[in-house]
Amino acid sequence: MLQSEQPETSQRCGFIAIVGRPNVGKSTLLNHLLQQKISITSRKPQTTRHRIMGIKTVADTQFVYVDTPGIHKSQKKAINRVMNNTATSTLDGVDVVLFVVERLVFNEEDEMVLEALLKVKVPVLLLINKCDLLDSRERLLPHIERLSKRREFADIIPLSVLGGHNLDVVENCVQKYLPTGPFLFPEDQVTDKSSRFLAAEIIREKITRQLGDELPYEVTVEIEKYTLQGEILHIHGLILVDKESQKQIIIGKSGDRLKLIGSAARLDMEKVFESKVMLNLWVKVKSGWADDERALHSLGYYQD
């Protein structure tokens, strides 16, 4: 008697680009999909400056999400051009695209993203974020109808990232579009970024949240030391600013503001790295770094 053959369960694995204009919730979406913090967030536009990969493995599926800088109109400085190029180049070679917009807004920068997506041949899901803030859901229907005529979307999903509404719908929809194939990363890996990178981003997030619009855009962080001594991580962070006046803003009166930034960053690092952290911060003026391609290369803003 012949035994009936058991069907093989095929693994699925693929890359999912998260794109949109600045400040629509792309990084928050990535963190909520992963159920842990990988990408930094703040209310300040263009907080995300790098391409950040977040990996989630569930049963026979590996989702490789790619968070990107917001595509924006201003390209006055080299760093702006680098971020736009990073975002648009990510669209090459992915299997699915998540195009994130905000409620009933569709402005000039959303149009820029849509224009970049016209060349994309893979499924594009339109995610309308922050729908929980609408006073009437009925206003959303004609907006969805208008957007559906702009290009063919694989699906249009209203959601609230912060409220956790419809995130399971997004993941289920993405899953069916991923190609079959072996996993590309170990099942316990959650990002392609190094601990040094994550440490620098955490510090930059705390600066952005502490200062908001008080500090101009020209601030970045470089990790000069990252060593484990016994059970304590020793991290030295160098905060680079464009002007002496910006340095004084970050340091604050008697160093109080820098202490607040360091304290908040250390608490986050201890959660992420699951270790006690000894964090030391310095602030240094490096004029013109945001418009200096050589400086941007050395600070890791250009990626393969």
Residue with tokens 């959601």: 159
Give tens-digit pLDDT for 86-112.
Answer: 555 667 788 999 999 998 888 888 898
What structural domains does the chain harbor?
A: 12-177 (3.40.50.300), 195-298 (3.30.300.20)
Structure tokens at 92: 């090459």
Residue with tokens 């910006």: 246
pLDDT score at 10: 83
Q: Strand order in 219-229's β-sheet?
A: 219-229, 232-241, 276-285
**CA-based R_g, the chain, Å:** 21
Give tens-digit pLDDT for 172-212.
Answer: 999 999 999 999 999 999 988 889 989 998 998 899 888 87
pTM as predicted: 0.78
What are phi and psi for residue 30, nearest 5 degrees? -60, -50
CB 36 within 8 A of CB 87: no
pLDDT score at 3: 46
Element (H, E) at 211: helix 195-211
